[in-house]
Structure 1
């Protein structure tokens, strides 16, 4: 699928859109359905948005732990906070992000990407060399951490163990990484530092997954795509989101999408399915940068929607701007890290010009 228009001097410019097939395991859109062993799956765009904005659906509670541990971090950040603590903790992150200029983030991400490519040789693994290190280092500098490189390394360790139910060995490593990050943060109350770390952790895998997916789908050796990077990233987010789903629990009996969900129901909101809902997007399987539509759900919605969506897109855009100019993907199989809700490539190899 592509389009043709005329560029400078009347020469035809052809955009060859990638074919992004539904990810294996992505359910079709339909009414909420109960899946034994995992709870209710919500797949339609309108139903996912309704659940994200209805106070009857809450983020599952997490246990805390001693200050400076992974369990303490999870219990202190806005993402996992109960309603009575969420607003004040979210305000910490919102205030910190308000100080950051997305255009500057994009510029710094591009500058660092150029420097890394200049030292890379003929080939490079986008995931190892760019997708995680660049956004984390740029964001750590902007948030005032004293050793951005060390902070990036520690954040990656925490991110690998961030969701409850991980291997105890990973949790122990993450405890040490949390303690290191607290020492690297600028002086502030513990809860403030926890939520600064939370911003970095939430940016880690999600932004890396977006950069990896974009590099895989868009850096084809075929005719280059000429659409704006921002529009390309938005469409990659829709069709191959790095965050495939998020969890909620019903605190009251609630009716959603024509189904009655009892109180205490585990609910999985499927962004990957909702972003392909034909009721929300015309020709949902077609890659169409700049398309109108009902709005992406990958960044969430409502009072718990991601506060750093513009910043994440700026960081990813800075990296992809440079990759589009200087790199082409090598034809190697694409594999992803095992995770129930994230979709992050393990490697994306490119040739460097």
Structure 2
């Protein structure tokens, strides 16, 4: 086990606890980087002005620097500092915070969800992007197409993508850009969200387009993981289904207890000291958000799953200048989607799952499987999990 493998391990949390016991900010000899695992260390790194989101010598990953996906990457507010981060953020964040949860619920309810594995995949990965597309003024048909293209575009954000996936990501970036050019030129667009963003944005139109594309890429995987990990919480603890009105609380606790984004990175740009540790320019810090969420210094009884957790605190959506601007929208989409899934009474006892390959994400993908013996559950090396057929009755 190491801090990167941990993201898709069946249960990384005991390992995270051992890391915290060794010190909040320590050097990992195997990975040749610093690891921030405690809540104080994670908070300090995320707040420090000399800890940037990209290395100074490589603002865009070398693998994509020559294509449109690389150009988009270089304009994303979450991949920049200073004015290149503040300008698009100040235009986009206020509108996301004002989105009405009832509108999100209606958009989710309007989508066809089937209770099989294919239907769940679409609900988790395609649905959230379709909701965001509708909020920006795209038609339902455009939203469905955009969700497909976004699936290809997100490959440019992963170091695990192969050359073919990266080439496809460049093509997807061209397609997404085309959709937004048409949207911004449409005089009939009635989206209050888009109108507010445009009124607040004063920069290059290409930067605006890039960051709207970035909203889709963030929504695609992170929201899918949040919904999927909430389903795993129900599979592991069927008693949670007894009160169907607590889905909002369930999602809120899942994002703390088993987040879809397990870690992020920061790159030290000048000599500094954090939590008593001297760091040098060029050092890399792996920031274990999921570990900090389970730190007793942040939450009492952190390894307990509590719907009624008082003063719930979490680093899942980041902190400080790079805190995710779409936090409330992600929670609303996840809650609305999970409610719709449960309304269709999926045969959760017929599902298996495994995590998508990732260096930082914890995103389950579900598959159908033959029913197992009512008194037997199974776990294998690919993180497959199933429950007895009495699951729904017990709920």
Q: Scaled by the length of structure 2, what TM-score is found?
A: 0.76
Alpha-carbon shift at residue 25 of structure 1 (Å) = 5.6
Does the Cα contact within 8 Å between 2:117 and 2:366 map onto a contact in 1?
Answer: no
* CA deviation string 1:317-349 (max 9, x = no partner): 111112233324125443101111011112255
How is 1:143-154 mapped onto 2 (pairs within 5 angstroms)?
143-145=136-138, 147-154=142-149
CA-atom RMSD in angstroms: 2.7
CA distance 1:292–1:153, change in 2 (3 Å): same
User: 1-side partners of 2:45 and 2:121: how far apart?
Assistant: 36
Q: Which stretch has the larger CA shift, 67-76 or 315-324?
A: 67-76
**Residue 187 (structure 1) aligns with:** 184
How is 1:56-75 mapped onto 2 (pairs within 5 angstroms)?
56-61=50-55, 62-63=59-60, 69-75=68-74
User: 1-side partners of 2:120 and 2:286: how far apart?
Assistant: 28
Q: Unpaired runs of 5+ in structure 2? A: 1-9, 186-204, 370-388
Q: Which stretch has the larger CA shift, 69-78 or 103-112?
A: 103-112
How is 1:133-282 mapped onto 2 (pairs within 5 angstroms)?
133-145=126-138, 147-164=142-159, 166-185=161-180, 186-187=183-184, 189-219=205-235, 222-223=238-239, 224-226=241-243, 228-282=246-300
**Residue 324 (structure 2) aligns with:** 306
User: 2-side partners of 1:89 and 1:344: how far apart?
Assistant: 28
Alpha-carbon shift at residue 21 of structure 1 (Å) = 5.3
CA distance 1:283–1:27, change in 2 (3 Å): closer
SS in structure 1 of the partner of residue 273 of structure 2: strand
Does the Cα contact within 8 Å between 1:280 and 1:293 map onto a contact in 2?
Answer: no
Does the Cα contact within 8 Å between 2:41 and 2:274 map onto a contact in 1?
Answer: yes
* CA deviation string 1:117-170 (max 9, x = no partner): 3xx5xx334652210111111111111235111100111111133235732221
**Residue 5 (structure 1) aligns with:** none
Does the Cα contact within 8 Å between 2:158 and 2:358 map onto a contact in 1?
Answer: no
Does the Cα contact within 8 Å between 2:113 and 2:119 map onto a contact in 1?
Answer: no
Q: Which stretch has the larger CA shift, 216-225 or 131-140?
A: 216-225
User: 2-side partners of 1:67 and 1:278: how far apart?
Assistant: 45
User: 1-side partners of 2:100 and 2:17: how far apart?
Assistant: 37
**Residue 17 (structure 1) aligns with:** none
Alpha-carbon shift at residue 173 of structure 1 (Å) = 0.1
Does the Cα contact within 8 Å between 2:47 and 2:321 map onto a contact in 1?
Answer: yes
How is 1:27-106 mapped onto 2 (pairs within 5 angstroms)?
28=18, 29=20, 30-36=23-29, 37-61=31-55, 62-63=59-60, 69-98=68-97, 100-106=99-105
Q: Which stretch has the larger CA shift, 216-225 or 171-180?
A: 216-225
Q: Which stretch has the larger CA shift, 267-276 or 65-74?
A: 65-74
Does the Cα contact within 8 Å between 1:40 and 1:267 map onto a contact in 2?
Answer: yes
User: 2-side partners of 1:289 and 1:342: how far apart?
Assistant: 23
Alpha-carbon shift at residue 60 of structure 1 (Å) = 1.1
Does the Cα contact within 8 Å between 1:102 and 1:310 map onto a contact in 2?
Answer: no
* CA deviation string 1:289-310 (max 9, x = no partner): 1312461100001111000000
SS in structure 1 of the partner of residue 178 of structure 2: helix
CA distance 1:66–1:271, change in 2 (3 Å): closer
What is the count of residue pairs matched by the alignment?
328
Alpha-carbon shift at residue 274 of structure 1 (Å) = 0.5
User: 2-side partners of 1:285 and 1:264: how far apart?
Assistant: 35
CA distance 1:222–1:202, change in 2 (3 Å): closer
Q: Unpaired runs of 5+ in structure 1? A: 1-19
**Residue 346 (structure 1) aligns with:** 365
Which one has a larger percent helix, Structure 1 or Structure 2? 2
CA distance 1:294–1:213, change in 2 (3 Å): closer
